[in-house]
Structure 1
């Protein structure tokens, strides 16, 4: 993989950070929805119902792009696979985990996926792990452990249950990031993201129909508003920003700068949910930020 131009890398980082912040708002809005007695699969269904039409329109609009690229059947099979694990299983595990733990803790645990991305890239794509990436990962892990350990002491046993589901979400999302890294050049950012999200929407629809316990029409207007906001501002827009960023700076570097996610979620959760940030969690957040700056500044100078 060639070295990216400094300006390209900077733009890729900025685009990725914007996508990360928008994605981070999802956890806060899901927690707000849970205040209206909605279950995980129902709010996930609303998210996909509002998001799916946008992706269908985008697929139709971009159907003739990348026409010069020869695609094989296995490429479409991989899109189905990564669509299932990336935005269906990962989202479902995430939404279930959020019913047990705070939004700020969710994002901190979810940030375990950078090491998974780098390992997957090493094993399957033979990418080299640089010393800068190793140092940044160590720093971010230190920050995560500090913040997570402090929250466990405060919140009790539910933290472990929620943490387990968020860990599953991190593993499946990391797999999606790695897969998207080599499939995006074949399909293009818009088409790949739209295909993957449509697959995810279908999976959620089927899941809901199988285990349906509550009518989707039985909630208050606040739930539908939150579902719409989650779909547009925490799903549709950031999904394309993230895919574009991965194309510009590669999935390993994106996974590391995504450490801004825990910080933005902690801030948003404090503002909208009243979640308290302890001094230890603040220190952990600062360590994560330093890790992001380390890898970003070093990469620009390369």
Structure 2
């Protein structure tokens, strides 16, 4: 059993948090590579969900069988249905769709605004008070995103506007998931909730796919698409979940949340290196501004909406 002050445990926690943040973000890189083979967001999402499903089923069974687990009620299952649709179906669908139009660095910055959306939802839906410092941090974060957005609009073209709107919808959908899942997370545990919600999301994705296309289409894609999808399912979906939970257990939710800033920073350079996306001084300044604002909001005790609710979840 490790303790919060165990140096070895903290070093491992920092490593898990950093690797998990980079892997979460790298799904955008893999999606961009898949788009080069003529597929779209729905194909990418369906493959990601189908290939990661067995892993999350095993995780859900393992978590359900752990001693001392709280029995789930009918209301719990109903809420998981809603959360699965919001958090890992709609959010992921909008995110992958938006990635068809925006560079990965801008996509990750917009998604990184999740803590600000959760804060606003808490204010309007749950009447929570927002401190002056939090308003300032939100203003700084949105100013940074606006700076990066305008620069990408100049460099990439007007399609960035549509893509950014889609990614913004993804961030909002995921923020609703975070805001609604707090009590359920405390009752059944974070890994159990993620596993069940991913199963619901997979079912929703398959239903969407069957309504629009023949499922056999997924069996006729170029071979590299499947390898990229497998990497996405394992290394950018399942493993980051377990890494992040391990980091939270060793460092606490607040520290793990702050280390997630590594994700957007890594994508600025990975996008340039692997995809040839432009990096300008304005983009770097805007990225720094956004990360500074979000860091203030994710400091332990600084957030009107508990940090635990945002740190214990995967990104879409």
Q: Deviations over 1:95-118 (max 9, x none)?
A: 111111221221222233322111
- 2:136 corresponds to 1:135: yes
CA shift for structure 1 position 158? 0.8
- 1:177-208 CA-partner distances (Å, limit 9, x unpaired): 22333321111122111000000111111111
Aligned equivalents of 2:147, 2:127: Cα separation in 1: 32
Question: Per the alignment, do residues 205 and 295 of structure 1 end up closer, same or farther by CA in structure 2, a change over 3 Å counting?
Answer: closer
Matched residues in 2 for 1:149 and 1:211: separation?
Answer: 35
C-alpha distance in 2, partners of 1:210/1:235?
A: 25
Q: Deviations over 1:28-70 (max 9, x none)?
A: 1100110111121111111111100001111112223374535
The aligned residue for residue 311 of structure 2 is none
Helix, strand or coil: the match of 1:83? helix
Distance 1:257 1:278, change over 3 A: same
Hey, what does 1:28 align to over in structure 2? 29
Distance 2:236 2:65 in 1: 27
CA contact (8 A) 2:95 2:170 kept: yes
- Contact 2:144–2:288 (Cα < 8 Å) also in 1: yes
Structure 1 residue 138: Cα displacement: 2.6
Please give the alpha-carbon distance, in whole angstroms, between the structure 1 residues aligned to 2:153 and 2:145.
Answer: 12
Structure 1 pair 255–212 and aligned structure 2 pair: CA distance change class (3 A)? farther
Aligned CA-pair RMSD: 3.1
1:219 CA displacement: 1.6
1:103-122 equivalences in 2 (<5 Å): 103-122=104-123
Which SS does the other structure have where 1:119 is aligned?
Answer: helix
Q: Offset at 1:150?
A: 0.8
Structure 1 residue 249 corresponds to structure 2 residue 250: no
Report the number of matched residues: 294
1:146 counterpart = 2:147: yes
TM-score (norm 1): 0.85
Structure 2 counterpart of 1:234: 236
Q: Is the Cα contact below 8 Å between 2:113 and 2:294 reproduced in 1?
A: no
Unaligned runs of 5+ in 2: 303-316
Structure 1 residues 256 and 164: CA distance shift in structure 2, 3 A: farther
> Do the aligned partners of residues 256 and 123 (structure 1) sit closer, same or farther apart at CA in structure 2, a change above 3 Å counting?
farther
